[in-house]
Amino acid sequence: MSATQAHPKGLYLLFATEMWERFSYYGNRALLALFMISALSFDKHFTAALYGQYTGLVFLTPLIGGFVADRYWGNSRSILVGGLLMAAGQFMLFFAGSFYTDLSVALPFFYSGLGLICIGNGFFKPNISTMVGQLYEPNDSRKDAAYTIFYMGINLGSFAAPLICGTLGDTGNPADFRWGFLAAGTGMLMSLVVFQSFKKKYLLSPSGELLGLPPKRLTAAEKAQVDTSLSTIDIQRMAVIGVLSFFVIFFWSAFEQAGVSLTFFARESTDRMIMGFEVPASWFQSLNPVFVLIFAPIMARLWMSLSAKGREPASPTKMAWGLILLGLGYVVIALGVDGIGDGMKVSMLWLITMYWLHTMGELCLSPIGLSLVNKLAPARLASLLMAVWFLANAAANWFAGILAGFYPEAGKPFPSFMGFTISNLHEFFMLFVAMSLTAGGILLLASKPLQKMMHGVR
């Protein structure tokens, strides 16, 4: 199939569904750490730890959601159930924000809301990502480009979310956080309306069959696959998924500082004034997705062009460069804060440049990884192995919360990491430089052996 063929319309339905769901999630993320500090009066160390545990669980529950979809419900029903649970969770946070002055009332709503979002994401996330690949034939060269386009939907939602939810909630008045959470819940309902309205018309396989059905309604050929043992090639390809999942832990644990330590940095150490207007700290979380929207089409076209010429790098190589670019982003911000004194603020240009480099790294790693899991996974284990991929994100987000706890605070004892005292922001950011560049270099060296284990998949 030609790489120049138009993509199926179902891709754009999944694009819109994921766009609204990500609006909901990232609207929540833009406000969550600030809400915990400003409204619930949590300290930074507890906030960072709780943030990491919550976002880690968000990516851990897809293991259950993927299993349920593969064995019982199918992708479509799992997306509906997951979306409803996440919407309910956002509305719980709205009530937490409404009663923030009485913690005996606010905290049960708060923790219940986070729990519902975690469970709902487990049903939603792996299944919608899997359905993107099901729109194409197994060896269709358009898959990498398709996942990059799908990734634009993710980032269109996550670009708008901090601007809208941040404007409503991050006003300096703790009572206003609830309006940001209300907007996030409304976005989740929009996602479900779009999906349910058009799924039967557009979510079709290349042969025209409806996608996302429960296993009992699959074709006879697909049912027969369930009793087929895994081949040596299948096992080696699954091992590649495992190895790459390990490396993405290092990527996301550094990248996900955006929602916690980098938000602290934007709020406290960045000069946010523009012509008399102070940019809300939550707005900086829109930098990454807006850069994705600008550069994702360029990257998609680049991969398709290189593929047509037979020069496209293999997926592990692309992902190694993603880690290296992430590390370079932290080099920039570490240089920006080097030598600044207590109370001094740096130009927002340092933060903007860092987010641009992080985005370029993300485009080399995340959509490529989603596509690769779909290409390497045996068909009957597609959703479950997509959930394993998200398990790495779970570990990364948990680790991100731990690392954010080393953020130095004036007037408090300096934290120590593996015997190394972190006394300033420069030393804090250098942790991520060392971690990202080391992991990227090792993965670059391991790329060719991994390619052999992929048996022709790129």
Predicted confidence (pLDDT) per residue in 238-290, tens digit = 888 889 989 999 999 999 898 888 988 888 888 988 988 888 888 888 898 88
pLDDT in tens, 431-447: 999 999 999 999 999 99
Residue 209 covered by a domain? no
Asked whether the predicted pLDDT for residue 426 surpasses 90, the reply is: no
DSSP-based three-state secondary structure for 273: strand
Residue 386 covered by a domain? yes
- How many angstroms separate the CA atoms of 259 and 282, rounded? 9
Asked whether the predicted pLDDT for residue 4 surpasses 70, the reply is: no
Residue 219 covered by a domain? no
Number of structural domains in the chain = 1
Q: Which domain holds residue 108?
A: 9-204+231-454
Task: Provide the CATH number for the domain around residue 265.
Answer: 1.20.1250.20
Residue 72 covered by a domain? yes
- How many angstroms separate the CA atoms of 414 and 422, rounded? 6
Question: What pLDDT is recorded for position 242?
Answer: 87
Asked whether the predicted pLDDT for residue 455 surpasses 90, the reply is: no
Q: Which of 72-81, 385-394, 448-457 has the highest mean pLDDT?
A: 72-81
pLDDT band at 1, cuts 50/70/90?
very low
Q: Which residue has the higher pLDDT, 53 or 95?
A: 95
Asked whether the predicted pLDDT for residue 419 surpasses 80, the reply is: no
- How many angstroms separate the CA atoms of 62 and 78, rounded? 11
Helix segments in 7-142, DSSP class H = 9-38, 44-60, 62-68, 74-98, 103-134
Residue carrying the six token digits 């924000």: 97
pLDDT band at 50, cuts 50/70/90?
very high
Question: What integer is the mean pLDDT of 330-345?
Answer: 86
Q: 277-278 and 273-274 as β-strands: parallel, antiparallel, unpaired? A: antiparallel
pLDDT band at 188, cuts 50/70/90?
very high
- How many angstroms separate the CA atoms of 334 and 339, rounded? 10
pLDDT in tens, 294-311: 888 888 788 778 878 888
Q: 346-347 and 270-271 as β-strands: parallel, antiparallel, unpaired? A: parallel
Residue 297 covered by a domain? yes
pLDDT in tens, 370-384: 778 878 878 777 767
Question: What integer is the mean pLDDT of 1-11?
Answer: 71
pLDDT in tens, 107-133: 999 999 999 999 999 899 878 877 888
Secondary structure of the chain in HEC code, one letter for each residue = CCCCCCCCHHHHHHHHHHHHHHHHHHHHHHHHHHHHHHCCCCCHHHHHHHHHHHHHHHHHCHHHHHHHHHHHHHHHHHHHHHHHHHHHHHHHHHHHHHCCCCHHHHHHHHHHHHHHHHHHHHHHHHHHHHHHHHCCCCCCCCHHHHHHHHHHHHHHHHHHHHHHHHHHHCCCCHHHHHHHHHHHHHHHHHHHHHHHHHHHHHCECCCCCECCCCHHHCCHHHHHHCCCCCCHHHHHHHHHHHHHHHHHHHHHHHHHHHHCHHHHHHHHHEECEECCEECCHHHHHHHHHHHHHHHHHHHHHHHHHHHHCCCCCCHHHHHHHHHHHHHHHHHHHHHHHCCCCCCCCEEHHHHHHHHHHHHHHHHHHHHHHHHHHHHHCCHHHHHHHHHHHHHHHHHHHHHHHHHHCCCCCCCCCCCEECCEECCCHHHHHHHHHHHHHHHHHHHHHHHHHHHHHHCCCC
- How many angstroms separate the CA atoms of 125 and 175, rounded? 31
The residues facing 271 across adjacent strands are 347
Residue 224 covered by a domain? no
DSSP-based three-state secondary structure for 280: coil
CA angle 117, 123, 126 (to 5 degrees): 110
pTM here is: 0.78
Residue 214 covered by a domain? no
Question: What pLDDT is recorded for position 88?
Answer: 97
What interhelical angle do 348-376 and 382-404 show, nearest 10? 150
- How many angstroms separate the CA atoms of 33 and 264, rounded? 9
Residue 253 covered by a domain? yes
Asked whether the predicted pLDDT for residue 418 surpasses 90, the reply is: no
Work out the percent of the chain whose per-residue pLDDT is above 90. 36
Asked whether the predicted pLDDT for residue 27 surpasses 80, the reply is: yes
Q: Which residue type does 327 have?
A: G
- The residues near 177 (Cβ < 8 Å, ≥ 6 apart) are 31, 34, 35, 38, 39, 97, 100, 169, 170
